[in-house]
Amino acid sequence: MIIDIARQLALKNYRGGFCFEYECPPGLVLLPSARIEGKVKVEGDYEIYEDDSVGVRLKVSYMLVGQCSYCLENASKLVQSEQDVLFLTEDDGENYSYNGLKLDLTTAVNDAVLFSQPQVLLCGQDCKGIDLN
């Protein structure tokens, strides 16, 4: 998940794209008894600006599986999310930073997975919960 910014600048490639699959750490799943099945698909594009900052559009998609939050039956959901992030050569406390040579997307991808997760996982939109009868 590394973009070699120094190489892209040397080649005068100021824009580019990427696509890869990522094995997400299990600790990133916030819902109890849920997990990401398979790998997270990550794709996007980047643009290197004149001040050496890099704008990145990240798209993540993955299958979240586990128990329905209402009825505890098996449930799954395809999660897709897109976000824009900015990498700077100095740490400003608000954006991501990189060393000016190579940009590591790992933290931004992990954050994208965290922010994209639903608060509940349902077996269906019309789930009424546990039937107590």
Read off the pLDDT of residues 3-56 as tens digits, 9 standing for 90 and up: 999 999 999 999 999 999 999 988 899 998 899 999 999 999 999 999 999 999
CA dihedral of 112, 71, 38, 81, whole degrees rounded to 10: -30
Is this structure's pTM higher than 0.85? Answer: yes
Give the count of domains, the chain.
Answer: 1
Any residues with CB less than 8 A from the CB of 130 and at least 6 apart, and which? 70, 71, 72
38 lies in some domain: yes
Return the closest-CA partner of residue 19 out of 47, 46, 40, 41: 41
Question: In the predicted model, is pLDDT for residue 97 greater than 90?
Answer: yes
For residue 122, is it within any domain? no
Quote the CA–CA distance of 113 and 99 in Å, as a whole number.
Answer: 24
In a domain, 15, yes or no: yes
Question: Would residue 40 count as lying in a domain?
Answer: yes
Domain that holds residue 67: 2-116
Residue 32 has φ and ψ, to the nearest 5°, of: -60, 145
Residue 125 in domain? no
